[in-house]
Chain A
Amino acid sequence: MTGRGRFWFVGRRLLQAIPLTLVLLLLVFAMLKVVPGDPALQVAGPRASAATLQAIRVHLGLDQPVWLQFVHYLGRVATGDLGTTATGSTKVSTLIASGTPVTLVLLAVSTVFTVVIAGATALLAARRPDGLADRLINVVAAFGVGVPTFWLGIVLLAGVALPTGAFPIGGWGDTPATVLRAAVLPALALSVSVAPVLMASLRSGIVEARRSEYHAAAQAAGVRGWTLTRRFVLRNAAVPPVSLLAALTTLLLSGAVVVESTFGLPGLGLSLTQAAQNRDFNVIQGLTLVFSLAVVAVNLVGDVLVALLDPRVEV
């Protein structure tokens, strides 16, 4: 694949993402329409008169034809206007802007944890397939997938953060150091359920790579040690997990929503949960959009990464 080919590949995938994004927007917009309850009533509060309600409807553009409302919605989204929270005190875009870094840091730290845990255990397990370590790791992994993330979170809070005092019990930090410290336990709770998935994929990749002819050929050609592991095992074993990247990310995102509420991290997931609990339409709508766009983007990055790692992938 030439550089030019890759460029076009990325471009084409970007173009393909556009209709998907539009449909997503339409769906997110449609959410508001199918929700039981009158958004105007929500805004006006219980004591509003009929006239006030009508005025609010006009103000919100709810009296216009649906397609026009959608066009307006697109326009507002394009300018970053996602409305305000139900109490009216905060813009949804502000909420997203302040929550995004938190969620991103959480995802980044748990990705590091996940990769390190999965990588180490996969290498250990693949050393002797069906050996003691492999079986043991498989059992632990089964537990890891089965442990409810939120439960692990509260157990970590009560069982680790409280007695050691080394981590904040809920909440976020304001300096890089405190932020990282606040991210450790939530990221760990998150990784425990995701790492086994990556581990299994990596492990089978490693086993497969070790059994491969090119691995033998490389050894025969005198390649050994870390070079052998890195270039003839890990790099090849990374291809299947990277193609899982999008799936893993959605799993991580799902987990982040849970973990953020367990640990009280002011990220997008906590906002989503609280909006669902408080029935805050605009917030749900805005966050759904952000999350799904993020997944579209991750899918895109995943495809490109696979193409970079595995030159055989047709572009």
Chain B
Amino acid sequence: MALVQVLGRRRARRGSGATALVTGAVLLTLLLAASFAAGALTGHDPALTDLTARFRPPTAEHWFGTDQLGRDVFARVLVAAGTDLPLALLGAAVPAVIGIVLGALAGYARGWIGTAVMRLADLIQAFPSYILLIVLVFLLGPGAGSFLVGAAVGAWVTYARLVRGVVLRLRELDYVRAAQAAGLGHTRVLLRHVLPNALPQAVVYAASDIVLALSYLAALSYLGLGIQAPGIEWGQMIAEGQPFLRNQWWVSVMPGLAIILVGVAVRLIAGGLERRLQR
């Protein structure tokens, strides 16, 4: 997933990025908070089927209309945020942590361990990430756990390369040698010197990974390989609504818009963070 990074690699603009950061963070926080209170906020139980209220179009009562079982689409979109957001965040965070640890390991232990880690990275990169994900879900069975494993296996590589590069560069620097000579442990050197250097780029990676993880999760669920009912997830909602796209468009259009909203919010946060970190 080394790619979308380029999107973030723009010249630092005027301004601290605070506005973007705050806007994005507020959007995500609101969405996440709303997911816990979806029922109270919308006045509808997201899971309650009401066969007498099927396919109501968006109204003041049902902001996003109702679906084929008469469930409130707005409430479901909100509840789904509670599934999608944590999974997307974890889908980016887990590989980041694994990648940072493995990258540091590869950078410090340059012997066969380092080689092994980097060969493993080459190997992983030979698989297109989404295909890797599908194959792993195939092997492990559908579900959130499989998705996380699949995301982690595919995405740690970029972080590992990044951190290893920083480690290799830093370990030649005098002050790091001095720090090591002064008896600072590897962990502290890592925390004090390596991480701060790798962080801005890692943040950009992670942001693009969140968006990518979300779209992969949604795509998997859409194909019936991810989150399944009664779990509520945007991709799964889109799939459920797809037969009715022509006449009851809201059932699958609304969750799609939610995904886009998250993508934009994450980009805002990433852009803002990047500008702050680069200063």
Name A's B-contacting residues (CB within 8 A).
Answer: 20, 23-24, 27, 31, 34-36, 129-130, 138, 141-143, 145-151, 154-155, 157-158, 162, 193, 196-197, 200-201, 204, 240, 244, 246-251, 253-255, 257-258, 261, 272-273, 275-277, 279, 284, 288, 291-292, 295-296, 299
Contacts and interface: CB of A to CB of B under 8 A. Distances in A.
Contact of A149 (B13, B215, B264): B215
A250 B128 contact: yes
Contacts of B122: 20
B259 A34 contact: no
B245 to A, nearest CB: 5
B219 A204 contact: no
B223 A277 contact: yes
A146 B219 contact: no
A183 B126 CA distance: 26
Q: Top 9 A-B pairs ranked by shortest CB distance? A: A146-B263, A254-B130, A250-B128, A151-B256, A253-B128, A142-B267, A201-B6, A200-B7, A276-B138
A253 B138 contact: no
Interface string B243-279: 0011001001100100110111011000000000000
Contact of A154 (B6, B7, B13, B238): B238
Given A146-B267, A150-B238, A200 B9 contact: yes
A244 B129 CA distance: 15
Nearest to B257: A151
Given A254-B129, A288-B135, A145 B223 contact: no
A291 B135 CA distance: 11
A240 B9 CA distance: 13
Given A154-B242, A204-B10, A276-B138, A145 B4 contact: yes
Contacts of B253: 155
14 contacts: A23-B123, A143-B264, A146-B211, A146-B259, A146-B263, A146-B264, A148-B215, A148-B218, A150-B218, A154-B245, A204-B10, A250-B125, A254-B128, A275-B138
A292 B253 CA distance: 34
Given A20-B126, A146-B263, A244 B3 contact: yes
Contacts of A141: 7
Contacts of A149: 215, 219
Interface centre among B9, B131, B225, B252 (most CB of A within 10 A): B131
A275 B128 CA distance: 17
Contacts of A148: 215, 218-219, 222, 235, 238, 256, 259-260
Contacts of A261: 223
Contacts of A36: 141
Nearest to B241: A154
A130 B139 contact: no
Interface string B178-221: 00000000000000000000000000000010010001001100
B127 A295 contact: yes
Contacts of B267: 142, 145-146
A162 B249 CA distance: 14
Contacts of B211: 145-146
Contact of B126 (A158, A275, A296): A296
Given A158-B245, A251-B128, A279 B138 contact: yes
Interface in B1-54: 2-4, 6-7, 9-11, 13
Contacts of A142: 7, 263-264, 267
Contact of A284 (B2, B4, B123, B138): B138
A18 to B, nearest CB: 13
Contacts of B227: none
A129 B134 contact: no
A24 B123 contact: yes
Nearest to A193: B215
Contacts of A275: 138
Given A146-B259, A276-B225, A277-B224, A284 B219 contact: no
B137 interface: yes
A11 B4 CA distance: 31
Contact of B260 (A146, A196, A201): A146
A295 B126 contact: yes
Nearest to A151: B256
Contacts of A288: 127, 131, 135
Given A130-B13, A251-B128, A276-B137, A258 B219 contact: yes
B235 to A, nearest CB: 7
Contact of B131 (A138, A151, A253): A253
A250 B249 CA distance: 32
A248 B235 contact: no
Contacts of B9: 200, 204
Nearest to B3: A247
Nearest to A272: B134
A251 B245 CA distance: 28
B139 A31 contact: yes
Contacts of A151: 218, 222, 238, 252, 256, 259
Contacts of B130: 253-255, 257-258
Contacts of A196: 7
A143 B263 contact: yes
A158 B249 contact: yes
